Structure 1
Amino acid sequence: MPQKAAALRFVILLGFVSLCADATYEGARSITGAYLEVLGASGTVVGLVAGFGELIGYGLRLVIGYLSDQTGKYWGITTLGYFVNTAVVPLLALAGRWEVAAGLMMAERTGKAIRTPPRDALLSHGVSQIGRGFGFGLHEAMDQTGAVMGPLAVAAMVYFQGEYRNGFTVLVVPAVLGLIVLGILQFIYPNPSDFEEETEETSQEEKLPQIFWIYLGAVAIIAAGYADFPLIAFHFQKQGIATGQTIPLFYAFAMGIDAVAALIFGYLFDRIGIFVLMIAAVLSSLFAPLVFLGNTQLALLGIAFWGIGMGAQESVLKAAIASMVPKHKRATAYGIFSTGYGLAWFLGSTLMGVLYDHTITTLIIFASTTQLLAIVFFAWVKLQADGSNIVLSK
């Protein structure tokens, strides 16, 4: 089979694994908060469990990325991560106490942290044959498809069966299916790095290049000013823009936009390079005023811009890293990227929550300004790339 066709099949199959994983854990996350309340947890406990889980999820990636590159066990670490990430989810149906459920929830976040850096490194090899932007965009589109399917399946089970436990039980199906395909995938493609050729100069580099750190600064700025959906949902509920029944539909709409945008921006990245991230930053700067000042119709438009920004971030940001970092350091780079992105998102979301309670206008200014400020850093990255003869695209 020609290399390009084989690489495309590899990317699609790995995307299917991610689709199944997202259907599993996003399906669970759609009801875990309510489930903890049923089991007797307090609001403080729910907040701590969610926050600590995300802290583990992003912080551990720094170590896992480095470990993956040092050992070269990309498939083994990826498999372990996917197993923990998905296998613990159906066990939530058996949790009789909130303490047990909380432990399983944090185990799920730990699994995601373990599998993400080596998975992205493996994916970066396959997309080198079909266009990095398109490849990562395709993976993100499949990923988000699962993120929509899982919660819908859980909602249907809870609606017809009446218990949260049944919602977790149905997630056995995507969990098992994803793990089976993952096992087959690494049997067919034991060495995905063979898809990608590397020059002798880049293969000898021992440190991450300066351009990566400048790029990470741009990414951190974007993440810090990107409002998390729970704050948006809180605003919708408080202002009567949407109800408890329609807010999930807003989120599903955003995820659909995310999937489409990932494909479009990934395709454009392969043709015009990092300039596409500047376009995405301009568009995402519009979400805050529309979401936090508009009526229902304008808020829906704002959610569309929010989804566009998310799609560009989840696809192009990772594709650009594959262009600037040698493949033997890539899992380390993705681990640092994920940790920096998650920390900036956490700090920015906390600040925006405080700003919301005091003045929404300041929140909007902060969110929009950070998106536009990132353009300066992306321009700096482009200058660095041009000076170093680095091609930040296909």
Structure 2
Amino acid sequence: MSQRAAWWNRNVAGMTFTSLLSDACYEMVLAVVPGFLPVIGVSAAALGWIEGLSDGIASVLKLVSGWWTDRLGHRKTMVTVGYFFTGTGLSLFALAFAWPMILAGRMVSWFGKGIRGSLRDAMLSESVPPEVRGKAFGIHRAGDTVGAVLGPLCGALLLHILPHQPPDLAFRRVFLLSLIPGLAAPLVFWIMVREQRRQPRPRVSMWLALRQQPAAFRRFLTAVGLFGAGDFSPTLLIMAAAVLLTPRFGGVRAAEFAALFYVARNIVYAAASYPIGALGDRVSKTALLSIGYGAAALTALGVALMFRAGSTSAWAMGALFVLSGIFASAQETMQGAITPDLTEAAARGTAYGTLGLVNGAGDLIASALLGTLWSVVSPAAGFGAAALLMGAGAVAIARVKH
């Protein structure tokens, strides 16, 4: 079997296409919702807590679902159900007139994300030989991010051509249209992906499974968690762009710019994911991850300086979005590829679930911290704190032996 046949197979293709559709749905909404929230009176602090709480709940579900499917010996059905909830939850934003419905839509969607994310990664890691996992995760993240390019493009285009009176109407229609890719994703996964069932482990408790994780993996998780405490939601970066550019371009135009910057970020993310994954099969994955974490810290620092200076430069903001695409590709690709190298195959679901829990806890802290500092102190203080935490994570991950 050729090396390409080893890493590009039916399962990898199916999971890549599914993620493309699911991310197109999610990012179509994510790109325009920061412009919608001020229209219905939702603050940056509320957004930060909604993002953080949703990510926190999803992270707990990742651990529980990973451990549970290790016990059962199969994962496909739960992943399909997860994609269904992810693809339908955000359409509830069309009914929102205040923050509670935004929270409800996020909860439904992130419930789905929580029960399918770690399981899909475990299935992906089991679908290819160890020596080409970097390529498989890289091409999967690239496909995932193609959806993250198409989604914001569709969102920005629809926002541009749909009627703007009343101001919330175009946004609500975009949320409803996101159901098209959202419902296609679970259908594609169910049809294309084939699962090799494993030996069930019905007697393994969650606590025992966590205690049995290798020491090297625990050190890795510590560094990931430190970085994660500053790794705020991309929604806050989009909101920062919209706020900074509004004095110069006006609210709707600034929201369009922010969505297009996010498209540029995701193009970089898609283009860099496979090369970074392939490079990770040849050199130290933790070194590449440390570089990615460093790029994240520089992104947050740049946004903090723009707020401090009162800059309305679209060029500077666009450059920061490009830099964020580089760190996102390194982060997602390398974290997924490193995990199976440090853990046992029989407990792979629990391992990815634990990684998801750590990332989610970090997201909760980061988004809530940044959103609160933004509203109580200043945006510059929030992004500055994020930069410090992500920089510390870059140093910590560089010290992990892989």
Scaled by the length of structure 1, the TM-score of the pair is 0.80
Determine if the alignment matches structure 1 residue 331 to structure 2 residue 349: yes
Q: What residue is the counterpart of 2:393 in the other structure? A: 374
Between 1 and 2, higher relative CO (CA 8 Å, sep ≥ 6) is seen in 2
Distance in 1 of aligned mates of 2:180 and 2:162: 17
SS in 2 for 1:272: coil
Determine if the alignment matches structure 1 residue 267 to structure 2 residue 278: yes
Q: Measured at CA, do residues 359 and 271 of structure 1 come closer, stay the same or move farther in structure 2, by a change above 3 Å?
A: same
Following superposition, the deviation at residue 338 of structure 1 comes to 1.1
SS in 1 for 2:8: helix
Q: What residue is the counterpart of 1:178 in the other structure? A: 185
**Aligned residue identity for 1:314:** E
Is contact 1:65–1:332 with CA below 8 Å preserved after alignment? yes
Q: What residue is the counterpart of 2:205 in the other structure? A: none
Write out aligned runs for 1:31-42 (5 A).
31=32
Q: Measured at CA, do residues 46 and 314 of structure 1 come closer, stay the same or move farther in structure 2, by a change above 3 Å?
A: closer
Q: Measured at CA, do residues 109 and 362 of structure 1 come closer, stay the same or move farther in structure 2, by a change above 3 Å?
A: closer
Following superposition, the deviation at residue 224 of structure 1 comes to 1.8
Q: What residue is the counterpart of 2:85 in the other structure? A: 84
Determine if the alignment matches structure 1 residue 277 to structure 2 residue 289: yes
Following superposition, the deviation at residue 381 of structure 1 comes to 2.1
Distance in 2 of aligned mates of 1:207 and 1:72: 18
Is contact 1:220–1:345 with CA below 8 Å preserved after alignment? no
Query: Unaligned stretches of 5+ in structure 1?
Result: 195-203, 386-394
Q: What residue is the counterpart of 1:315 in the other structure? A: 333
Q: Measured at CA, do residues 270 and 153 of structure 1 come closer, stay the same or move farther in structure 2, by a change above 3 Å?
A: same
Write out aligned runs for 1:1-394 (5 A).
5=5, 7-9=7-9, 10-31=11-32, 49-89=50-90, 95=95, 103-128=104-129, 131-162=132-163, 163-186=170-193, 189-191=194-196, 207-240=212-245, 243-273=254-284, 274-294=286-306, 296=313, 297-355=315-373, 358=377, 366-382=385-401, 385=402
Distance in 2 of aligned mates of 1:354 and 1:42: 13
**Aligned residue identity for 1:131:** V
1:334-358 Cα shifts (integer Å, max 9, x gaps): 1111111121232133334455554
Is contact 2:20–2:146 with CA below 8 Å preserved after alignment? yes
Following superposition, the deviation at residue 140 of structure 1 comes to 1.1
Following superposition, the deviation at residue 169 of structure 1 comes to 4.0
SS in 1 for 2:255: coil
**Aligned residue identity for 1:219:** V
Is contact 1:205–1:326 with CA below 8 Å preserved after alignment? no
1:51-83 Cα shifts (integer Å, max 9, x gaps): 543332222212111111111221111111112
Following superposition, the deviation at residue 128 of structure 1 comes to 2.9
Following superposition, the deviation at residue 230 of structure 1 comes to 4.1
Distance in 2 of aligned mates of 1:231 and 1:49: 11
Following superposition, the deviation at residue 213 of structure 1 comes to 0.8
Q: Measured at CA, do residues 289 and 100 of structure 1 come closer, stay the same or move farther in structure 2, by a change above 3 Å?
A: closer
Following superposition, the deviation at residue 7 of structure 1 comes to 4.2
Distance in 1 of aligned mates of 2:212 and 2:58: 25
Distance in 1 of aligned mates of 2:366 and 2:90: 29
1:303-332 Cα shifts (integer Å, max 9, x gaps): 322221111111111110011111221111
SS in 1 for 2:212: coil
SS in 2 for 1:317: helix
Distance in 2 of aligned mates of 1:166 and 1:359: 33
RMSD: 3.5
Is contact 1:121–1:331 with CA below 8 Å preserved after alignment? yes
Is contact 1:4–1:130 with CA below 8 Å preserved after alignment? no
Distance in 1 of aligned mates of 2:331 and 2:14: 22
Is contact 1:141–1:262 with CA below 8 Å preserved after alignment? yes
Q: Measured at CA, do residues 221 and 50 of structure 1 come closer, stay the same or move farther in structure 2, by a change above 3 Å?
A: closer
Is contact 1:3–1:129 with CA below 8 Å preserved after alignment? no
1:41-60 Cα shifts (integer Å, max 9, x gaps): 86587666555433322222
Is contact 1:269–1:276 with CA below 8 Å preserved after alignment? yes
Q: Measured at CA, do residues 84 and 298 of structure 1 come closer, stay the same or move farther in structure 2, by a change above 3 Å?
A: closer
Is contact 2:227–2:389 with CA below 8 Å preserved after alignment? yes
Is contact 2:280–2:288 with CA below 8 Å preserved after alignment? yes
Query: Unaligned stretches of 5+ in structure 2?
Result: 164-169, 200-208
Q: Percent identity?
A: 28
Moved more, 23-32 or 70-79: 23-32
1:235-260 Cα shifts (integer Å, max 9, x gaps): 44554487333122222222222222
User: What count of residue pairs does the alignment treat as equivalent?
Assistant: 370
Distance in 2 of aligned mates of 1:52 and 1:371: 20
